[in-house]
Structure 1
Amino acid sequence: MRFHKFGHACLLVEDADARVLIDPGAFAPGWEDLRDLTAVLVTHQHFDHLDLERLPALLDANPDAAVHTDQASAGILAEKGLRAEGVAPGATFSINGLSVEAIGENHAVIHPDIPIIPNVGYLLGGRFYHPGDSLTVPDRPIEILGAPTAAPWLKLWEAIDYIRAVAPRIAIPIHEKAAAAPGMYYQNMSALAPERTAVEIIDDGEPREY
């Protein structure tokens, strides 16, 4: 798999036959210029994962790309005349031969007084899991994890314990734009990750293959 990080939670994931963009949000520059996408996946409706200003032009430029989102985001997109298929937790589908499974159901708790919204994570090719804004631990081994780094709903110790619970071979820090100094988070995540886990930091705009 080839990964290209656009920033925060937005990644382009490619294999031999599929080009899949995940969470095209407001904190990630450059994804609006992508072409020949096979699919766009959205974990949930928050603006840092779903930029409603730039998404229409991206979909116009990629008319053959399938769009899969959590069910609430699908409704939001439909109200704006944008095509999307809502994905229920546990659903499985294929994107040009690349298997995708939806894992998890809810966004992590930000505060008890703030309503919880739907959030689905995506397991691609049985290898890479992007949890969106959740700490859902899949019920199977995960090779590559998109590891949330900093957020209003996340403490550093929770980020580290999540990596420990999933125990992937590789953890790619994501959701870092909420931190003023993400390097401090990366340092602790690397130092305290399981021995078998390599924390691989991908800079914005950098391609990486695993």
Structure 2
Amino acid sequence: MKLTKFTHACVRVEKDGKVLLIDPGSFSEDAAFERADAILVTHEHQDHIDIDRVKALDAPVYTNSGVAEQLSDLGDRVNVVAGGQSFEAAGFRVSAYGKDHAVILPELGVPCENIGFLIEDAVYHPGDSFTQPDRAVHTNLVPISGPWFALPPAVGYAREIKSQQLVGIHDALLSQLGLGMMGRFLNSDERPYHGLAPGDTLDIG
């Protein structure tokens, strides 16, 4: 498989000629939307789903009930999934984890639903949460900024999940200094950290 990073939280996974697009939000480059055989959306915030551009794609969408309501005019192209479920999307095996978006401020509570996606038991995308999968993964995608972000739980999340490598996501708010700083906190001999720029790719073993 091959993973391509786009701006912020959007990634594309390719296998056997099929393309799985994850969290194509408003910051995502047009190139991310050039082709998708299926789309996964972790939650409803605009930095994770660009409603108009997703609707323009002729591809099934797998997401939670909150996002599905916003895409109701797509009919049976939208598939509602929840944490604990497994399914197939364009030939990819996917498992869903969790339910809640991370809390931004205590007085606001949980802002919306959020589910993480594990693709082919290899690539894990948590959305806006530090929900952990129940198994080891090859490539763990680590959120590294955002209004809900805090460094200690991010580092704990990266350390607790057994993985071969880490890739930073949810990073559009960081300067080059901030990106470099997060790489130094997360990189280790045990789990090398990749701070990919938009358009960069990695092979997933």
Decide: shared fold, TM above 0.5.
Answer: yes
Give how far 1:75 is off: 1.3
Structure 1 counterpart of 2:128: 133
Q: 1:196 aligns with which of 183, 187, 190?
A: 190
1:11 counterpart letter in structure 2: V
Q: 1:163 aligns with which of 158, 162, 169?
A: 158
Q: Tell me, what secondary structure is at the counterpart of 1:169?
A: strand
Structure 2 counterpart of 1:152: 147
Q: Tell me, what secondary structure is at the counterpart of 1:143?
A: strand
Structure 2 counterpart of 1:173: 168
Quote the Cα distance in structure 1 between the aligned partners of 2:5 and 2:187. Answer: 21
The 8 Å contact of residues 172 and 200 in structure 1, kept in 2 or not, is answered as yes
2:158 counterpart letter in structure 1: I
Structure 1 counterpart of 2:21: 21
Structure 1 counterpart of 2:84: 90
Is residue 106 from structure 1 mapped to residue 90 from structure 2 by the alignment?
A: no
Quote the Cα distance in structure 1 between the aligned partners of 2:176 and 2:160. Answer: 21
Structure 2 counterpart of 1:122: 117
Structure 2 counterpart of 1:10: 10
Question: After the TM superposition, which parts of structure 1 deviate over 4 Å for at least 4 consecutive aligned residues?
Answer: 191-194
Give 5+ residue unaligned stretches, structure 1: none
Q: Tell me, what secondary structure is at the counterpart of 1:7?
A: coil
1:127 counterpart letter in structure 2: A
Quote the Cα distance in structure 2 between the aligned partners of 1:160 and 1:74. Answer: 32
2:18 counterpart letter in structure 1: A
- In the superposition, the TM-score normalised over structure 2's length comes to 0.90
Quote the Cα distance in structure 2 between the aligned partners of 1:126 and 1:19. Answer: 16
Quote the Cα distance in structure 2 between the aligned partners of 1:157 and 1:185. Answer: 16
Quote the Cα distance in structure 1 between the aligned partners of 2:103 and 2:85. Answer: 23
Is residue 66 from structure 1 mapped to residue 65 from structure 2 by the alignment?
A: no
The 8 Å contact of residues 170 and 199 in structure 1, kept in 2 or not, is answered as yes
Aligned CA-pair RMSD: 1.8
Give 5+ residue unaligned stretches, structure 2: none
CA deviations on 1:15-60 (whole Å, 9 max, x unpaired) are 114310000101112246412x210000000000011232222x2x
1:124 counterpart letter in structure 2: I
- In the superposition, the TM-score normalised over structure 1's length comes to 0.88
The 8 Å contact of residues 141 and 166 in structure 1, kept in 2 or not, is answered as yes
Is residue 41 from structure 1 mapped to residue 40 from structure 2 by the alignment?
A: yes
CA deviations on 1:52-101 (whole Å, 9 max, x unpaired) are 232222x2xxx2x22101121111211xx124111111111112432100
1:139 counterpart letter in structure 2: D
Q: Tell me, what secondary structure is at the counterpart of 2:166?
A: strand
Q: What is the aligned-residue identity percentage?
A: 35
Q: Tell me, what secondary structure is at the counterpart of 2:181?
A: helix
Quote the Cα distance in structure 1 between the aligned partners of 2:177 and 2:153. Answer: 17
Q: Quickly say closer, same or farther: Cα 1:3–1:105, change in 2 above 3 A.
A: same
The 8 Å contact of residues 169 and 197 in structure 1, kept in 2 or not, is answered as yes
Moved more, 147-156 or 190-199: 190-199
Q: Quickly say closer, same or farther: Cα 1:66–1:56, change in 2 above 3 A.
A: closer
